[in-house]
Structure 1
Amino acid sequence: MQSETVETIAPAVRPALPMPLWEFVGMIAAMMALNALAIDTMLPALHDIAQSYGLQEANDQQLVIFAYVLGFGAPQLVFGPISDSVGRKKIVLGCIAFYTITGFACMAATSFSMLLVIRFLQGIAASGIRVIAVSVVRDLMGGRAMARLMSLVMTVFMVVPILAPSLGQGVMLFAPWQWTFGILGIAGLLMMGWITLRLPETLPAENRPPLNIGGSFKAYKQVLTTRVTLGYMCASGVIFGALFSYVASSEQVFRDVFNKSETFVLWFAGIAGALSIANFMNSRIVERIGMRRVSHTVLLGFIVLAGVNTLAMIQFGERLIIFYPLFALTFACFGLIGANFSALAMEPLGKIAGTGSAAYGFMTTTVASFFGWLVASRFNGSVVPILEGYVGLGLGCLLIVLFTEKGRLFGSRDDPEYED
């Protein structure tokens, strides 16, 4: 395993990985996991945060998540062109340093408004980390090889949503809820050391376009006028709204609907585990079957599963024994959609991978969080409005994919021999 390089994954001529494959996958997953850690670790603390600051509205605690996601979205549009022009390593180290500082700063917030501002700033820092993580992968590979590696990354990455709520709940057994944010600062320090010692610059100087407004505008114009890139970015922005709505409302769902507050972290981990298994499955089948065949089929499955769960809750009542298996299968679909949509969107972009990664990240965070907020804010003590929202998001995503593919699903346009 340690001697495996990118040539093992993709026959195309690309630079060798700068480290063993297992370490590269782990590093990219850890960079992306800083974002998941910043969202999931404090989920068990949301109720305590609401009580500590005396929040009056039932869903106001969700703003701890959405303030961070709001900061996470748009700045990616800036970090992308900058990283394309000056390189990856300096930018990511600066962003991780700021992420670390804001993690510790959250502990000192004296009001809920201050906490939300700091969380917004922390999201900005995390946005740069996410852009660089995807850009580094695209610097070294593309196509199905990228989809496979990103699936491996997501398989490792999903360990964080499985463990993070338990980590947060464990911390709260010995320390106040503020330390669920302190963990983020500690994680940032460890990540800075790893990258400093092991990750070289992956974008050669000769491949960097000059940094100027005109060049950035031209790069974004290329992104927005590339049909496949724009289509799969928009489709991802819609379908990922379901993921954000789940993260924001999950603690309330399991506490208020199913009376499982004490075991919430276990139920949450089960969903994340299903996602991780699906990501690993995708890494095993995508190079053989193709990104479009896999993701289009599973998107239809997402819609059907969400619809069946909605009808089951209406017909039989909100019973966990029915809801949970269907819900886990629904969210497992993300493991077979996310990496493939990302690879499809990034494949045509080549040297402007940073810009493309930034635009894709904006769609799957800022736009997705808006849809997620629309769905999560409908929570009224019942899961039915949320499940109905998932059906709507799935149908919206399907329409965008149909438009992008000119009405053709399950195609093999990602095959090398395909011509538009």
Structure 2
Amino acid sequence: MSDHYTRVLSRPEFIALMAALMALNALAIDVMLPALPYMGEALGVSSENERQFVISAYMIGMGVAQLAFGPLTDRFGRRGPLLAGMGIYIVAALTAIFAPSFGALIALRVIQGMGAASVRVISTAVIRDRYEGRAMAEVMSLVFMVFMAIPIIAPGIGQVILLIGDWHNIFIFMGLLASAFWLWTFIRLPETLPVAERRPLSFKSVYDGFVIVCTNRVAFSYGLAGTFLFGALFGFISSSQQIYVDIYGLGVYFPVAFAAMAGLMGVSSFTNSKIVRRFGMRRLSHGAMLTFTGFSAIWVAFALTGFLPLWLFFSLLAIIMFSFGWSASNMNSLSMEPLGAVAGTAAAVFGFIQTVGGALIGGYIGQLFNGTTIPVAAGYLSMGILALLCILVAEKGKLFGVGDYRTHSDDAAAAAVSAH
């Protein structure tokens, strides 16, 4: 990276900016949770499960649009597509204030998610532009830690906004905050993709980029494992208001319980950033996935017996969420590591798979809510097993290895860029 880049944006500010951009996605999801009943009442939606579409519509819009932003950012650089996408996010959020029906609100949430796709793809690509290997995993963990501050406070912010106004003000808040981040990005973030390393925006180039990503066994398997993890998480998020309020009767204390879980994930990510250089991404993520799956099985067993008081539910979920923090950031880094030459396309492919796949899986789990935690617990267990199977495919049946990041697909990616 150039001296200009290093001088303009220090490492702490770089991490803070990337975390702020990624946090826009968490904000657009979690700040909505306390308002779902009020939105449904105002727009004539009585079904609690149907109200969850406010969440899943955003996720689907974000997931699909990532496939476009990946090739665009590899062709035109990082800054332009990022600023354009954030602009779409802002306009959609502010327009949602005037949504005349639930259908119109869902459509605007899809558009807002499409704008947010730029943040999801390009933030990851920018991090990969600047860092690689365990250094990238360290930065990813720190970004994820700051990013998790939003789920800690977002439901509480939503609750406070509802105390002083109606649900429309939540969209005003999102639009204004995103505008501030847009200005920060415009002023402080320089271009990180040199012109010489950009890929042409032709069908063949885009197709070749997708082939490079999808044929890298290690990268694609870890990306798919992340999909299953996020599917489990989105299933819990979709049902969290019903679990904490309807099952355990926490009422207005629901944001506090939600924040505690998000806080544990933040602590987990911070811990990971301190030890990943010593122990490596594979060892930490593999151990965390075994813990995630094992305690999910214990949760299922207790849920099926009917003995799951709040203290036990909370204790099991705390261990699972802590494990998620170690797994997610490391596996995200492992999926991106071999594909630096096509970082934008790689971020788009994995972002699409994880967002759309996670939203569909999580939405399905959420729709299964039946007044108990059994559907969510079973979702965590089944997704943990599938993620472990993906890891075994990536590592040829071996766990806790060190790994060799330089793969045939990485050579192909570099050759493809050189050819153009």
Check whether TM > 0.5. yes
**Structure 2 CA distance for aligned equivalents of residues 406 and 18 of structure 1:** 43
Scaled by the length of structure 2, the TM-score of the pair is 0.94
Instruction: Please list the CA deviations of residues 297-341 of structure 1 after superposition, one character each: whole Å capped at 9, or x if unmatched.
Output: 100100111111222233352310110111121112121011111
**Structure 2 CA distance for aligned equivalents of residues 159 and 385 of structure 1:** 27
**Structure 1 CA distance for aligned equivalents of residues 160 and 404 of structure 2:** 45
**Structure 2 CA distance for aligned equivalents of residues 205 and 83 of structure 1:** 11
Aligned residue identity for 2:55: I
Q: Is the 8 A contact 1:292 1:414 kept in 2?
A: no
**Structure 2 CA distance for aligned equivalents of residues 198 and 398 of structure 1:** 40
**Structure 1 CA distance for aligned equivalents of residues 295 and 192 of structure 2:** 41
Aligned residue identity for 2:40: A
Aligned residue identity for 1:286: V
- Aligned with 1:261 (options 247, 251, 270): 251
- Aligned with 1:132 (options 122, 133, 139): 122
> 1:3 — aligned with what?
none
Instruction: Flag structure 2 segments of 5+ consecutive residues without an equivalent.
Output: 411-420
**Structure 2 CA distance for aligned equivalents of residues 321 and 315 of structure 1:** 16
**Structure 2 CA distance for aligned equivalents of residues 140 and 415 of structure 1:** 17
1:178 partnered with 2:168: yes
**How far apart are residue 17 of structure 1 and its match?**
7.0
Q: Is the 8 A contact 1:279 1:336 kept in 2?
A: yes
**Structure 1 CA distance for aligned equivalents of residues 349 and 390 of structure 2:** 17
> 1:156 — aligned with what?
146
> 1:355 — aligned with what?
345
Q: Is the 8 A contact 2:337 2:405 kept in 1?
A: no
Aligned residue identity for 1:298: A
**Structure 1 CA distance for aligned equivalents of residues 151 and 404 of structure 2:** 31
- Aligned with 1:191 (options 162, 165, 181): 181
> 1:58 — aligned with what?
48
Scaled by the length of structure 1, the TM-score of the pair is 0.94
**Structure 1 CA distance for aligned equivalents of residues 44 and 406 of structure 2:** 58
**Structure 2 CA distance for aligned equivalents of residues 239 and 16 of structure 1:** 34
Q: Is the 8 A contact 2:225 2:390 kept in 1?
A: yes
**How far apart are residue 19 of structure 1 and its match?**
1.4
- Aligned with 2:35 (options 45, 56, 59): 45
1:402 partnered with 2:392: yes
Q: Is the 8 A contact 1:68 1:122 kept in 2?
A: yes
1:70 partnered with 2:71: no
> 1:231 — aligned with what?
221
Q: Is the 8 A contact 1:305 1:330 kept in 2?
A: yes
3-state SS of paired residue (1:211): coil
> 2:331 — aligned with what?
341
> 2:270 — aligned with what?
280
> 2:383 — aligned with what?
393
The count of aligned residue pairs is 408
The Cα RMSD (Å) is 1.9
- Aligned with 2:75 (options 67, 81, 85): 85
**Structure 2 CA distance for aligned equivalents of residues 320 and 357 of structure 1:** 38
> 1:207 — aligned with what?
197
**Structure 1 CA distance for aligned equivalents of residues 48 and 169 of structure 2:** 23
Aligned residue identity for 2:264: A
> 1:23 — aligned with what?
13
3-state SS of paired residue (2:48): coil
**Structure 1 CA distance for aligned equivalents of residues 280 and 373 of structure 2:** 34
Higher helix share: 2
**How far apart are residue 210 of structure 1 and its match?**
1.3
Instruction: Please list the CA deviations of residues 42-99 of structure 1 after superposition, one character each: whole Å capped at 9, or x if unmatched.
Output: 1100111111122132300100000000101021111011101110001111111111
3-state SS of paired residue (2:187): helix
Aligned residue identity for 1:392: S
- Identity rate of aligned residues, in percent? 39
Alignment of 1:288-299 (within 5 A): 288-299=278-289
Aligned residue identity for 2:371: G
Aligned residue identity for 1:154: F
- Aligned with 2:155 (options 134, 146, 165): 165
Aligned residue identity for 1:307: A
**How far apart are residue 182 of structure 1 and its match?**
1.4
Instruction: Flag structure 1 segments of 5+ consecutive residues without an equivalent.
Output: 1-5, 8-12
Q: Is the 8 A contact 1:16 1:140 kept in 2?
A: no
Aligned residue identity for 2:372: S
Runs (4 or more) in structure 1 with deviation over 3 Å come to 15-18, 414-417
> 1:373 — aligned with what?
363
